[in-house]
Amino acid sequence: MPTAAIIVAAGRGTRAGDGPPKQWRKLGGRPVLAWTLDALRAGGLTRLVLVLHPDDMARAAALDLRDVTCVAGGTTRTASVRAALDALTTAPPGRVLIHDGARPFVSPRVIGDVIAALDDAPAAAPALAVVDALWRGAEGRVGEAVPRDGLYRAQTPQGFHFAPLLAAHTAWPGDAPDDVEITRAHGLRVALVPGCEENFKLTYPADFTRADALLQARTPQMTDIRLGNGYDVHRFGPGDGCWLCGVKVPHDRALQGHSDADVGMHALTDAIYGALAEGDIGRHFPPSDPQWKGAESHIFLRHALELAHARGYALSNCDVTLVCERPKIGPHADAMQAELARIMGVEIGRVSVKATTSERLGFTGREEGIAALATACLIADRGVGI
């Protein structure tokens, strides 16, 4: 039976202290939500509905959204879940899991247990038995003890058959702390499955310290390195110089293109997009869009770097090779290197620009145009912030 997952992430998370909403804070160099989405995918879920605050919709570009539908949430948790349920009605799943976006460490075992429990119950939820003594308190004083027998700490994802969950939400008059309360009020039986201590909800500043420690313990030697390659070609046409790697090089012709035709910068931009599995310049800046006609190529390069930073990566180094007979690149290579480093905000020693000829062979040998090849290396940057 098809199962979808709703990730509730429209809250403001004020208890987490200063900074962006907790679901967008960095954990191991990536937004918390990136880890949450990965955890759900690891549990076998491939249809995800991400509920975001309307002000946060643009932030979603920092996430891997290949199997995600983004939905604007409401003013309450219940309203946000209802918006996601409405989005699923176009092709209703048989089952749906509802998960807190600030629980990035849910395990495949917990997800699997919840789904399995739905074979015999209309709803299921993970929970942990309360083991600490419980007291009532008031005005800073300990009051009466509360028996802990039969008490549980609720976790997510909470799982439901889709049709009765939608009916329960439709009949519910207001807000609720979770969807178990709504379904129980509608007469549905909710099965309990074992939760997991690591499946805690990031709520207070100290929770992020705990989460960082847990992540480091899981991947003590892991370094995420990504490589990308780029290739571009532009033909010659009328003009008095060529824009190459951000520098205008005097020549008796110019390169032709929809933008400023900076072939070197285009190849480098595509290399960064490639390292991120984000296609090429045409995907992000379509040549059919007139607003990019004559655009300066540093716009494209900066966008690629900003996307890398948002994903938690920094540029380790890059290498650009220009292939042409003329103009001669050598006298301008240092200026190109410096300009690319300035545009990308990196040390000049991380940027290489060089040139070669094609020994008079092919279109570059006939001086019909210039080709460029580039390689970019991105490395996980745990210090990058949104």
Gap between the Cα atoms of 37 and 33, Å rounded:
6
Nearest one of 15, 22, 9 to 386, comparing CA atoms: 22
Residue 380 has pLDDT above 90, yes or no: no
Gap between the Cα atoms of 96 and 163, Å rounded:
10
What is the DSSP-derived secondary structure letter of residue 60? Answer: G
92-100 mean pLDDT = 97
364-379 mean pLDDT = 96
Fold of 225-380: 60s Ribosomal Protein L30; Chain: A; (3.30.1330)
Q: 172-182, pLDDT tens digit by residue?
A: 988 999 999 99
Q: Find the helix or strand (DSSP H, E) in which 50 lies.
A: strand 48-52
Return the pLDDT at 221.
53
Domain boundaries, given as residue ranges, for the chain: 3-218, 225-380
Per-residue pLDDT band at 208 (split at 50, 70, 90)? very high
Nearest one of 365, 276, 353 to 318, comparing CA atoms: 353
Residue showing tokens 């074992």: 194
Q: 52-70, pLDDT tens digit by residue?
A: 999 999 999 889 998 999 9
Of the candidate CATH numbers 1.20.120.420, 2.40.280.10, 3.40.50.1820, 3.90.550.10, the domain formed by 3-218 belongs to 3.90.550.10
Per-residue pLDDT band at 235 (split at 50, 70, 90)? very high
